[in-house]
Amino acid sequence: MNDLATAIGWTTPAGWPAMSREDATARLTAPGQRFEMDRVDIRCVQTRVWKNAPPNLRAIAEAGRTHGERLFTIYEDERVTYDAWFRAVARLAAEFRERGVEKGDRVALAMRNLPEWPVAFFAATCIGAICVPLNAWWTGPELAFGLANSGSRLLVCDAERWERIAEHRDEMPELATVFVSRCDADPSGTERLEDIIGAPGAFADLPAADLPEVDIAPDDEATIFYTSGTTGEPKGALGTHRNLSTNILSGGWSIAMAALRRGDEPPEPAQKVTLLVIPLFHVTACSAGLMGAVVAGHTIVMMHKWDPVEAFGLIEREGVNSTGGVPTIAWQLIEHPERDKFDLSSLETISYGGAPAAPELVRKIYETFGALPHNGWGMTETMATVTGNNSEDYLNRPESCGPPVPVADLKIMAEDGSQELPAGEVGELWARGPMVVKGYWNRPEASAETFVDGWVRTGDLAKLDEDGFCYIVDRAKDMIIRGGENIYSSEVENVLYDHPAVTDAALIGIPHKTLGEEPAAVVHLAPGMSATEEELREWVAARLAKFKVPVRIAFVKDTLPRNANGKILKRDLGTFFA
């Protein structure tokens, strides 16, 4: 048993594991089984795939249609069934076609988690268009960049996002049509989404219709999710229909594995209620969450804004079975003083990834809720799930993000990519499988550097143990993950450098119990110049999304320490915030 597992107070149950991972894998992937695999050629690379994964998002939407009057989304007092959702998808897809949207055209989506989000997403992807979900936290200039860079010809957004985008309209020459939801009047140059599909409560009144006809192959392009680049300019990860559908079975895999390891039979697929508290513009929520939910017929409960007490009420009232997303959520659910006032007994699973998590959190989830913890690793470039660590295996290895799912491979490479390293040695993590995206949108050089013969160079420093469990040790990329949101240091540093008083700046991550880490800056000012911490924080806040603003700024008299190559020695800067 792992030493850290002992340290957090978990002891191996008698008779566990009832089956080795090798035997469980052989049983679950046998011919005729749900997790049977096949081999196909993906971009000239022979790749293992889930044989039973839906071929495209049209098939996923059609599966969702079969759930009829089952509730699909709950948002405040708006309750939308699967039948009503599909009627809205078909109506909006037809409208997209009438507006000239063709296969391969980009349709951008910029809104908070609302019932309209999965309508617009599937309306675009089901006619072969490429949906571009934009980060709703972004500022106006950041949103304008995504729209212009993707060449989106149509945008669906909420009123709050349009307020940020409107003044930049002339920066997006290819954007011909804008549909805005939840606005009182037609903002100039836009149309109301409600005039096409109605408000969510009226989706059920739309006529039943089929999706417009189009042929979509599994490896056709489906999405562009933006991930920040180390240069500070976001890169669009170009995902395929196969990338997204792969997650449906990858998500169920670790649940089936955990059952066999426990001595139980894998559970039959069952309809659950999920409290969605992470944004759908992230691959974790969209790819790893939404795809499987639609196929299974789960009910998704949405919140206008995260609030632990409101979440407790929703869990109790709606009988929520699962929630999570990032460690922040789990910590707040555990530690909030009003938790005991609510019946949370329906909770079965709390899952998370996307940010560093303390192993202690694993035990706390199990002790507090009796719920089984689930962690995993993935990235925007892998359209979410590559590894999974679930239930007793996670309690036994609480510092691991788990082994790869059977259709994925991991390897640890030397820094220069010249050789593979043996088990136990730390190097750069490379991943391969049907979840890896095609590359970066219109970034051939960045694509060639990151994607190599089917492998994605993740930039994470990691190690694998003898059983194939992965341990993320550090990040080679200069990135901070704050509560699941990626912050690339150079982007913030460049903004600080633009301030007339700043001549040297470095951004680092400082530990935070619930968020994993937060950004903090160390700054050197030009001789004779002055600036306060609050002034610099406001300077950044005016130019970047709020989650990127340094929570603390330390000032130094001398320029920052550098190595012989001139690179700032960031490992020495944490002492300023001790």
* 228 vs 386: CA distance, rounded Å: 20
Q: Assess if residue 225 is contained within a domain.
A: no
Same-domain pairing of 242 and 375: yes
* 481 vs 510: CA distance, rounded Å: 10
Alpha helices in 105-205 (DSSP H): 116-125, 140-150, 159-165, 194-197
* 323 vs 334: CA distance, rounded Å: 13
Q: Assess if residue 69 is contained within a domain.
A: no
Token pair listed for 437 = 């995206």
Quick count: other Cβ atoms within 10 Å of Cβ 188? 7
* 511 vs 124: CA distance, rounded Å: 40
* 179 vs 190: CA distance, rounded Å: 6
In the chain, the number of structural domains is 3
Residue recorded with tokens 């910029």: 110
Whole-number pLDDT of residue 568: 78
Q: For every one of its 578 residues, what pLDDT tens digit does the chain have, with 9 covering 90 and above?
A: 455 556 556 688 889 999 999 999 999 999 999 999 999 999 999 999 999 999 999 999 999 999 999 999 999 999 999 999 999 999 999 999 999 999 999 999 999 999 999 999 999 999 999 999 999 999 999 999 999 999 999 999 999 999 999 999 999 999 999 999 999 887 889 999 999 999 999 999 999 999 999 999 999 999 999 986 444 578 999 999 999 999 999 999 989 999 999 999 999 889 999 999 989 999 999 999 999 999 999 999 999 988 999 999 999 999 999 998 777 778 778 888 899 999 999 999 888 776 556 667 777 888 888 888 888 899 999 999 999 999 899 888 888 899 999 999 999 999 889 999 999 998 999 999 999 999 999 999 999 999 999 999 998 889 999 999 999 877 666 788 898 888 878 789 878 988 989 888 899 999 998 888 999 999 999 888 899 999 999 999 999 999 999 999 999 998 888 754 456 788 779 889 98
Same-domain pairing of 467 and 518: no
Give this prediction's pTM.
Answer: 0.88
Q: Maximum CA pair distance of the chain?
A: 75
In order, the DSSP letters of 207-231 are: PP-PPPP----TTSEEEEEEE--TT
Whole-number pLDDT of residue 230: 45
Quick count: other Cβ atoms within 10 Å of Cβ 154? 24
Same-domain pairing of 98 and 211: yes
- The residue segments making up the domain with residue 419 are 3-52+238-475
Q: List Cα–Cα distances, 82 to 59, 122, 145, 159, 222, in angstroms.
A: 14, 13, 34, 25, 22
Of 223, 545, 147, the C-alpha closest to 380 is 223
Q: Assess if residue 462 is contained within a domain.
A: yes
Token pair listed for 319 = 């009988």
Same-domain pairing of 461 and 520: no
Q: Assess if residue 232 is contained within a domain.
A: no
Token pair listed for 192 = 């109301």
Same-domain pairing of 437 and 303: yes
* 281 vs 267: CA distance, rounded Å: 30
Same-domain pairing of 36 and 87: no
CATH number, residue 527: 3.30.300.30
Single-letter residue type at 419 = Q
Whole-number pLDDT of residue 8: 53
Same-domain pairing of 465 and 490: no
Strand partners, 158: 181
Token pair listed for 237 = 């990860």
Among 155, 182, 216, residue at a domain's last position = 216
Of 95, 163, 158, the C-alpha closest to 129 is 95
> CB-hemisphere CA count at 13 Å for 347?
30
Single-letter residue type at 453 = D
User: E strands, 241-287, where?
Assistant: 273-276
Same-domain pairing of 492 and 508: yes
Same-domain pairing of 360 and 499: no
Token pair listed for 426 = 């730390």
Same-domain pairing of 457 and 483: no
Q: Assess if residue 260 is contained within a domain.
A: yes
Q: Assess if residue 345 is contained within a domain.
A: yes
Cα angle at 494 between 492 and 498, to 5 degrees?
Answer: 115
CATH number, residue 466: 3.40.50.12780
Q: What is the 8-class DSSP label of residue 174?
A: T
SS3 content of the chain, % helix, strand, coil (to 5): 35, 25, 40
Same-domain pairing of 564 and 463: no
Contacts of 307 (CB under 8 A, 6+ apart): none
Q: Give the tens place of pLDDT for each residue, 341-362.
A: 999 999 998 887 765 566 677 7
Question: For residues 315 and 275, is the Cβ–Cβ distance under 8 A?
Answer: yes
Q: Assess if residue 73 is contained within a domain.
A: no
Q: Give the tens place of pLDDT for each residue, 273-300.
A: 999 998 999 999 999 999 999 999 999 9
Same-domain pairing of 210 and 267: no
Q: List Cα–Cα distances, 555 to 382, 492, 502, in angstroms.
A: 38, 16, 10
Q: Assess if residue 292 is contained within a domain.
A: yes
Among 160, 186, 216, residue at a domain's last position = 216
Among 441, 475, 509, residue at a domain's last position = 475
